[in-house]
Structure 1
Amino acid sequence: MANFHTHITVAAVASVSVSIVLAGAGIINPSFAILLCALGTLGGILPDIDSDHSTSIKIIFHCFAVGLAFLVTFAMLAHYSILISLVVWFGVYFAVLFVIQPIFKQFTVHRGSIHSIPMAIFVGCLSSSFCFYFWSYGARESWLAGIFVTFGFMVHLILDELYSVDLSNAHIKRSFGTACKVYSQHFVIPFAILYGLLSASFFVVPHYTVLKDEIFTLKNYHKIEARLLPSRIKIA
């Protein structure tokens, strides 16, 4: 399988490329393009969160701990003193790292249900909902954020599958098929839970109509087509 450096590099390059295309076509503004690059890169390391000793799990849980601590603290700041808010911030931060993370490690297996296509869709829906309800983004921006997380996630899965094919010795490794999967008989209960969570997430995501009315439209396609290639230089 590809290592951490390869995953984060390829996900970053892919996310930067797509976000520049969208920004260049005027579909998104440059500042939002930077956020999408970050989300796509983060999605590119998310699948390895189920590996107990990977760099991904350390980065992701530290980011999650900081983000959750700020969300809880800012919600309390108007009602409690600064000192209590500081205690709450550090309490949430350390609880995530030393309570939630060990529990997560205990109940996850590398290349299990997390390394799958339904999980890629679920984290995208989760990201869209988070942006919509907590960051107060509009439905269009929230869906784009979720799409980029899913995009980075899928880049990771595809890379793992590509690295499962040894072209030099012309054979397929045993790990082939364990990344881009929709189900595994070895993880029946985790996949049942995952599909349940995915189904539930469809009831809280932003409006679906935005996808066909504002994102995946012929108008946006024509904008990209018009700006993708250099115009011919007219010589007088």
Structure 2
Amino acid sequence: MIKEGRVVAMGNFRQHVGFASFLGVLYAWGGGVMMGVHWMYGSVAALLATVGGLLPDLDSDSSVQLRGFSGLLGILAAVAVWQDIDNSPVVVPFELHLWSAIMTYVLVRHGLRRTLARLTVHRGMSHSIPTALIWGAVTYIGYPAESHLLRVVMACAVILGFLSHLVLDEWCSVDLVGRRVNKAFGTALKFTSKSMSATIATYAILAMLGWWVVRFWPADPFSGGFPQPVIYWPGVHESGPVDGW
């Protein structure tokens, strides 16, 4: 972005949200047209792409808007934990459901952002392609769906949003009018950083999560196609579920 003849080294919050959400909607539309992904799943993929577009800035401890984003991330994490407990074969009391969701929200909303801000340097390895793959792997592993293809779609949505952030930061490092490149150019779309320990730690986490993804990966990844959402109406359709919307 260019302001009054000077170069701003990165996109702002609105630019990142707008760009990531645009790509997310385009991704969802393409998935529906080309692969038959249901609009409900497509809408979630678009949302995850938007969230992914803000993930690189989790290493920043000075952004006011980031506090709102970490709150949204905390809500999504709390909902995911609630859903996971619901799907567990163990019957859990409502009170434990509630406290698990609340504690997850607090840990993500306050703990995750502050921990990352202390352990990372802004535009270090958190702004890198390996980290994009890490978040994609986390999404694939953690998304509450039995369908392999659906988890892949959601993981790719997060990676797309994350990469949109990096691309926008690189684009804003170039002053096309003044025909010059800001010193921040090349610090977003990268595979390594100046810190050897951060680089090694990032690749170690990626290798661990990659191994976990391989464990989940089915022998025939394209079998079954994309699922259709199923709605149960208790007391109305006792004979079985109602497919679609």
Q: Normalised by the size of structure 1, how large is the TM-score? A: 0.78
In 2, the alpha carbon distance for the partners of 1:57 and 1:70 equals 20
In 1, the alpha carbon distance for the partners of 2:122 and 2:220 equals 35
Q: 1:150 to 1:208 in 2, by over 3 A?
A: farther
- Gap regions ≥5 residues in structure 2: 1-9, 224-245
Contact 1:15–1:36 (Cα < 8 Å) also in 2: yes
Residue in structure 1 matched with residue 91 of structure 2 by the alignment: 78
1:25 is displaced (CA, Å) by 2.9
1:13 is displaced (CA, Å) by 0.8
In 2, the alpha carbon distance for the partners of 1:116 and 1:136 equals 28
Residue in structure 2 matched with residue 231 of structure 1 by the alignment: none
In 1, the alpha carbon distance for the partners of 2:11 and 2:172 equals 6
Residue correspondence of structure 1 range 1-236 to structure 2 within 5 A: 1-55=10-64, 57-72=66-81, 75=85, 78-80=91-93, 82-83=94-95, 85-131=97-143, 135-184=144-193, 186-205=194-213, 206-207=216-217, 213=222
- Gap regions ≥5 residues in structure 1: 215-236
1:83 is displaced (CA, Å) by 4.2
1:210 is displaced (CA, Å) by 6.1
In 1, the alpha carbon distance for the partners of 2:170 and 2:80 equals 36
1:209 is displaced (CA, Å) by 6.0
**2:130 aligned partner, one-letter code:** P
1:87 is displaced (CA, Å) by 4.2
Q: 1:209 to 1:191 in 2, by over 3 A?
A: farther
Contact 2:70–2:109 (Cα < 8 Å) also in 1: yes
Q: Please, what is the CA RMSD of the aligned residues?
A: 2.4
**2:160 aligned partner, one-letter code:** F
Residue in structure 2 matched with residue 224 of structure 1 by the alignment: none
Residue in structure 1 matched with residue 7 of structure 2 by the alignment: none
Q: Which has the higher helix share?
A: 1
Bigger mean CA offset, 192-201 vs 48-57: 48-57
In 2, the alpha carbon distance for the partners of 1:55 and 1:27 equals 39
Q: 1:72 to 1:33 in 2, by over 3 A?
A: closer
Contact 1:140–1:210 (Cα < 8 Å) also in 2: no
In 2, the alpha carbon distance for the partners of 1:100 and 1:45 equals 14
Contact 2:59–2:113 (Cα < 8 Å) also in 1: no
Contact 1:49–1:56 (Cα < 8 Å) also in 2: no
In 1, the alpha carbon distance for the partners of 2:160 and 2:80 equals 26
Q: Normalised by the size of structure 2, how large is the TM-score? A: 0.76
In 2, the alpha carbon distance for the partners of 1:5 and 1:98 equals 22
Runs of 4+ residues deviating >4 angstroms: 70-74, 208-211
Q: 1:68 to 1:38 in 2, by over 3 A?
A: closer
Alpha-carbon displacement from aligned partner over 1:100-141 (angstroms, at most 9, x marks no partner): 43222211211011000110111111111111xxx1241101
Contact 1:49–1:60 (Cα < 8 Å) also in 2: no
Q: Percent identity?
A: 26
In 2, the alpha carbon distance for the partners of 1:55 and 1:137 equals 37
